[in-house]
Amino acid sequence: MRARTILLFLAVLLAGAMGGAMLTPPTADAVSREIIQIQQTVNQILQNQQDLRTDVDTKAASMETLVQQSLDASSHLNQTMGALQKTLQDASANNGANNNTLTQQMQGVTDNMQDMQARVAKLAQQMTDIENTLQQISARVSTNPAPAAAPIGTNPGTSPMTGPPAATDSSGNSSQTPPAPSTDQPATSSLQPISGDTLYSNALRDMNSGHYDLSRQEFGDYLKNFPDGPFAANSQFYLGEISYAQGDYESAIGAYDDVIVNYPKSPRVAPAMLEKGRALIQTKKTAIAEREFRELMRKFPGTDEAKKAEAALRSLSPSQ
């Protein structure tokens, strides 16, 4: 019985010791090590988070730089394309103006050559007329030789001053021999210049020399005196060119209209329509000018004037 009591007491003491050991808080060293480990773990997590954020920020900055560079490149490309387009438009306009000037100069040279050929042909005809006239005079002189003068006193019925007495007809009326026709008149008439060709040639020369007022008067005189002449359409067209050169665009439009209406079969119709459109642009009548250019392209497709009209339309409406 006593031994049992002792064993039970020992068991109780062991159980109490074990319970106490279990309930006793850990020592300070153990707690410090755990805190240090936790702090190290937290610091490692924070460092990893910081590294991740830094990496994300770096990549975001790189992406932003790339995007900005792309935008800058796109903007620069747009500016370059705009400048190139403007350069092309200016070059097209300059080429159009240069081509127009060259065309006018070439047309002037062609007209001068035509005038020269016409004048040479007229001079040849005049020379032929002169030769024919001289041959007629020579024939008359050879067939009707002049009578020799009689010596004074050889015939009492004659006088060196008065010539032979007048013949009388059956009724007793006297009649004298009619004088020979003058030989100077045919030669004088054959030397008269062709006024129409000369007038047009002078007007063209004065226009090319910059004497616009005199040239305008001469072209007007040609149209007044030779409305159906071979250079009538040219004269009317050059009246428009003179007005355009002097800045009188309304008068130029009217002159070009007269070419289009009065000379519909003339080669000057297409140039007149082109120049009329340009004069309309100068007067700020852009819509009417566009219609004129389209009408020119419809009536004269494939011509130089149609191509210039198309270029003018593009300059008026770049989106076309």
Cβ-contact 280, 288 below 8 angstroms: yes
Identify the pLDDT of residue 121: 58
- pLDDT tens per residue across span 80-109: 777 777 777 776 666 655 565 566 666 666
- Provide the greatest CA pair distance for the chain: 230
* 161: pLDDT strictly greater than 60: no
Q: What is the 3-state secondary structure (H, E, C) of 12-60?
A: HHHHHHHHHHHHCCCCHHHHHHHHHHHHHHHHHHHHHHHHHHHHHHHHH
Task: Give 140's pLDDT tier (boundaries 50, 70, 90).
Answer: low
Identify the pLDDT of residue 166: 40
pLDDT mean over 107-115: 64
Cβ-contact 196, 119 below 8 angstroms: no
Length of the chain in terms of residues written? 320
pLDDT mean over 161-181: 40
Distance CA 276, CA 296 (A): 10
pLDDT mean over 305-309: 95
Of the ranges 43-52, 225-234, 256-265, which one carries the lowest mean pLDDT score? 43-52
Looking at the chain, the whole-number percentage of residues with pLDDT higher than 70 is 62
Task: Give 196's pLDDT tier (boundaries 50, 70, 90).
Answer: confident
Task: Give 265's pLDDT tier (boundaries 50, 70, 90).
Answer: very high
pTM of the full structure: 0.44
Identify the pLDDT of residue 158: 38
Task: Give 126's pLDDT tier (boundaries 50, 70, 90).
Answer: low
Structure tokens at 165: 């007495």
Of the ranges 30-44, 53-67, 203-217, 250-264, which one carries the lowest mean pLDDT score? 53-67
Distance CA 274, CA 272 (A): 5
Categorise residue 20: left if φ over 0, alpha if ψ from -120 to 50, beta otherwise: alpha
Identify the pLDDT of residue 51: 84
Distance CA 126, CA 129 (A): 5
* 40: pLDDT strictly greater than 50: yes
Identify the pLDDT of residue 207: 96
- pLDDT tens per residue across span 267-304: 999 999 999 999 999 999 999 999 999 999 999 999 99
Identify the pLDDT of residue 100: 58
- pLDDT tens per residue across span 208-258: 999 999 999 999 999 999 999 999 999 999 999 999 999 999 999 999 999
